[in-house]
Amino acid sequence: MKPASLIAYPAATACLILAASAAPRPLSDIIKAFDIHQLPLLTNPLVDMPSDESVSTGVIISDVIGKTQAIAIFSGLTRDIDPVSGRLDDASQNATVLAPDNGAMKNLKRKPWEDAEDYETFGAEAYKGQDGEDRAHKNLRRFVERHIVPESPWAEGKKVKTLHGNEIWWETKEGKKKIQPADIEVTSVADKVSNGQVWVIGGSLA
Ligand SMILES: *[C@@H]1O[C@H](CO)[C@@H](O)[C@H](O)[C@H]1NC(C)=O
């Protein structure tokens, strides 16, 4: 598209953007993407963590999580939650993202959009139809928000509330960072990021 046509139709462009962000990705697409990522990953998960050279050039959290293969499943989910993806894209808002690695996502007892209470209340059809989609989206949002700490740097031992509101902190045990109270190990950290850090964790805080 030529720049001239963007200038000529600013309202139309704005509408398109609004329409795109107003409609959440259908659950069937999310399930499909999730299943694709269940395939074994052959690449070395850590080779694509950001290098020192890219630091000063304004790399932000959304760039890092989008490129780190080890957390591809989780990062796909963050893009489905507009308030979260907006925040991770915003260079002026800091966060520490606790990203479960793909193994942790595969080992979840339930899919991140499922909730035991929904199945009790609505049965096997809990995620069918528009109401089901809304429930799935709400659960997905809760799952993702439980993994976002709205500050960085985040000091050891400091109790913070995630975007969802659950209280967590971290401490060092035998040389390893552990997220508490769940005692989940941090397996690698991307700290060359201008608006926070991405911590890869070997479990989930769901
Ligand atoms: C935001 O995060 C970066 C990277 O962790 C840090 O260098 C900077 O001091 C933080 N800014 C604020 C206002 O906390």
Which residue, by CA, sits nearest to atom 14 of ligand 1?
152
Which residue, by CA, sits nearest to atom 4 of ligand 1?
196
- pLDDT per position as a tens digit, 166-186: 999 999 999 999 999 999 999
Give the total number of structural domains in the chain.
1
Does residue 15 lie within any of the structural domains?
Answer: no
Does residue 17 lie within any of the structural domains?
Answer: no
Give the pLDDT confidence score for residue 48 in this predicted structure: 52
The rounded percent of the chain whose pLDDT value lies above 70 is 79
Mutational pocket test of ligand 1: of 52, 61, 94, the residue with most ligand atoms within 8 Å of the beta carbon? 94
Mutational pocket test of ligand 1: of 56, 152, 193, the residue with most ligand atoms within 8 Å of the beta carbon? 152
Residue 56 pLDDT > 60, yes or no? Answer: no
Backbone angles phi, psi at 82, to 5 degrees: -55, -45
Model confidence at 8, in pLDDT bands (50, 70, 90)? very low
Find out whether the beta carbon of 62 lies less than 6 Å from any atom of ligand 1: no
Distance 95 CA to ligand 1 centre (A): 9
Give the pLDDT confidence score for residue 54 in this predicted structure: 46
Q: The CATH number of the domain where 182 resides is what?
A: 2.30.180.10
Residue found under tokens 């999580």: 65
Give the pLDDT confidence score for residue 35 in this predicted structure: 74
- pLDDT per position as a tens digit, 140-154: 999 999 999 999 999
* 169-172 contacts at long range (C-beta below 8 A, 24 or more positions apart): none
Q: Whole domain around residue 155: which residue ranges?
A: 25-201
Give the pLDDT confidence score for residue 24 in this predicted structure: 76
Does residue 20 lie within any of the structural domains?
Answer: no
Residue 114 pLDDT > 60, yes or no? Answer: yes
Model confidence at 42, in pLDDT bands (50, 70, 90)? very low
> 167 and 176 in contact (C-beta within 8 Å)?
no
Does residue 31 lie within any of the structural domains?
Answer: yes
Which residue, by CA, sits nearest to atom 13 of ligand 1?
94
The rounded percent of the chain whose pLDDT value lies above 90 is 68
